[in-house]
Each structure stands twice: as structure tokens, then as C-alpha cells.
Amino acid sequence: MPRPTVAQLAYGSATVVLSTLAMLLLSQTSSGPGVGVIAMSAVILGLFVALSVPKPKRTPAPESVDAPEAAAREREPVHETAGP
């Protein structure tokens, strides 16, 4: 399993904390099971957010079609002509 990126950890953690606070304030619950349900739903929401953050794509260096020709031109000696 690949490691999560910094952005995934940051977005997921922020989602868990903020959604837990929001749900606790909106529901005004004080019972143990109610707080547990809210905490678990916030963790699940945080996981969904963290997994939905796009990962950076590694793009290979662009290969030019005429790369061998360009390399051959670089190896050719340069002949300077004497001016008048």
C-alpha cells in the first residue's frame, strides 16, 4: 500500500476535526454512544476525503522524436571559416 501524501494527511485530519466539532455542536448530544457515532462518522468522512485527494502524477521526461539526430549533431565538430 503506498504511503499517503502530506496533502492527504492534512485534508483528512482537518476533515475529522472540523466535522466532529460541527456535528457535536449541531446535534448537542452529550451521551457516550452519540459522541461515539459522531466520532466514527467523522473518521469515515475523513478517510473518504483523504482518499479522494488526487496524488501527484509522475511524468517521464519527454522524449523527442529526433533525439538521436540531435545527439549526432552535437557530436559533429564545428568548422569555423576564416573571415576576410
Tell me the per-residue pLDDT of 30-77, one tens digit each, with 9 for 90 and over. 899 999 999 999 999 999 998 887 777 777 666 655 556 666 666 666
Instruction: Over range 3-17, report the average pLDDT.
Output: 89
- Contact in structure between 17 and 35 (CB atoms under 8 Å): no
Decide if 8 contacts 51 (C-beta within 8 A): yes
Residue range 12-39: mean pLDDT, rounded: 93
State residue 10's pLDDT score: 92
The residue ranking higher by pLDDT, 17 or 83, is: 17
pTM, two decimals, is: 0.61
Residue 76: what pLDDT? 63
